Amino acid sequence: MKVAYVSRAYPGVVEAFYAARAGLAGEPSHTQCAAFEEFAFGWAGAWGPALAPFGHTLREFWLDLEPQHLAWAREHGRPHGAETTEALLIDQVREFAPDVLWLDYPDPSLLRRLRAACASLAAAIGWVGSALPEGPLWREFDAVLSCDAESVAALERGGARAELLHHAFQERVLARLFERPPSMTAVFVGQFDPGAPSHAAREAVLETLLETHRIAVFSPPIRRPDLLETAARRTAWEVASGLKRAGVPESTLGSLPGLGSAARWPGPPRGALPPRLAAAIEPARFGLAMYQTLRDSRLALNVQGVRRTHPASNMRLFEATGVGTCLVTDDAGAIAELFVPGREVVTFDSAGDCVEKVGWLLDHEPECSAIARAGHARCLAEHTFTHRAARLDEILRGVAG
């Protein structure tokens, strides 16, 4: 089965990728694609090798890799600048002639254009993270995958076919990391999105930790609204939320000036970052550099931030344990179903509890190292893309026949 995986990168990822590889933008399209898979950002380079033993060919298409799309256009005799990056991506997917489209971000227009362009498609699948989804888009997919059991249940209630697929560790990166003594005591690598309610808890935990511990924080720049903009956005969200509770249909809210977008926000908007956290942030590290950063620290911090009664997984759970670093995480996603708390990872239930446990681990290096080794062993034994591929194969065959 041929699978076209279509995705996007975070702000700054593409710039960092090409900046680290002088001259790559002028190389052939296939060379740039292979290099990005080796870069190992997100799922880049992960699913193709994992699915190959099951008879699937997965090809990745990253919308933001503009130099790669332009190289493909040159190779096919297309006039420079005559077409948008999205149009070039659609043509590349059509040329690949996939049986299944996997679009891992919500873009209804692109989904419809890809469906219309690719006569070979038997099915299209989508992806939802841990934010509970709303809206009718998900019913347009033949199946929607999620790392969060509660999102799966919400999708099913909304009429979509949904399947649980946890995140995983890309074990192929291990051979490309340096083995050296940790140079950092504790690290957090991730985003602080003012539009994500769960990130409010992340900001609060790290701000509290920074009062007493030195934490290296690596995060991409995300524009934060000023005080006036925050107040206006919060008012719009409160009005839109009140109208939703009163039973105003989503279609009606979407047509109201100033309230249409606010009605789709998952929570109240936030303003500037807390001061200690803002001062601690260093430039983001992506791909292999991110994995090496985790590997070079004694502790890696993770804050999912949203309580779940069923397991939910974000990538950091497996990135940290996969490289052999002691993971300190909130138990927001019923983590005991994935790792053994206190033996394979360390969990906390509040900012104060996190401060206490980080301090204890830094004062007890042998115990900290033992937890890191146990978490690493569990991750490699059960939580790699090779392990997840059997489940994904089952899903693919179920939706595409």
Sketch the domain layout of the chain as residue ranges: 2-168+385-400, 173-224+271-382, 227-264
Q: How far apart are CA 324 and CA 315, in angstroms?
A: 15
* Type of residue found at 329: T
What is the rounded average pLDDT of the residues 340-344? Answer: 96
Chain centroid, CA 306 distance in Å: 15
Say if CB 326 and CB 299 are below 8 A apart.
yes
Q: Which two tokens stand for residue 29?
A: 């399209």
Confidence (pTM): 0.87
- What dihedral angle (degrees, nearest 10) is formed by the CA atoms of 400, 84, 62, 31? 110
Closest CA to 283 of 37, 7, 10: 10
Matching fold, domains 2-168+385-400 and 173-224+271-382: yes
Name which residue leads in pLDDT, 242 or 6. 6
Length of the chain: 401
3-state secondary structure 39-58: HCCCCCCCHHHHHHHHCCEE
pLDDT of 195 reads 63
- Helix residue ranges per DSSP H, 296-347: 315-323
DSSP 8-state symbol, 384: B
375-393 burial string, b = 16+ CB within 10 Å, else e? bbebbbeebbbbbbbeebb
pLDDT in tens, 360-397: 999 999 999 999 999 999 999 999 999 999 999 999 99
Ranking 101-110, 251-260, 367-376 by mean pLDDT, the lowest is 251-260
- Here the tokens at position 107 are 């873009």
Look at residue 81 in the predicted model and tell me its pLDDT: 75
What's the average model confidence in pLDDT over 90-100? Answer: 98
pLDDT value of position 229 = 59
Confidence (pLDDT) at 105:
87
Please state the rounded mean pLDDT for residues 164-182: 95
For residue 79, the 8-state DSSP code is P
Q: At residue 228, does pLDDT exceed 90?
A: no
Query: What is the rounded (10 degree) CA torsion for 63, 115, 48, 288?
Result: 20
What burial class does residue 205 get, using C-beta atoms within 10 Å of its C-beta: 0-12 exposed, 13-18 middle, 19+ buried?
buried
In 10 A of CB 360, how many CB atoms?
12
**CA-based Rg of the chain, rounded to a whole angstrom?**
22
Strand pairing category for 143-146 and 57-62: unpaired
pLDDT digits (tens, 9 = 90+) for 7-41: 999 878 999 999 999 999 999 999 999 999 999 99
Sort strands 184-189 and 216-218 into parallel, antiparallel or unpaired: parallel
Q: 2.60.120, 3.30.519, 4.10.830, 3.40.50: which CATH number matches 2-168+385-400? A: 3.40.50
Of residues 88, 103, 81, 100, the one with CA closest to residue 32: 88
Enumerate the H helices of 246-313 as residue ranges.
250-254, 275-280, 288-295
User: In angstroms, rounded to a whole number, what is the distance separating the alpha carbons of residues 199 and 283?
Assistant: 18
CATH class belonging to 173-224+271-382: alpha beta
Lowest average pLDDT, out of 149-158, 192-201, 373-382, goes to 192-201
Provide the pLDDT for residue 223.
60
Gap between the Cα atoms of 153 and 164, Å rounded: 10
| Token reading at 130 | 């841990």
CB 232 within 8 A of CB 240: no
Strands (DSSP E) along 22-159, which ranges?
A: 57-62, 100-103, 123-128, 143-146
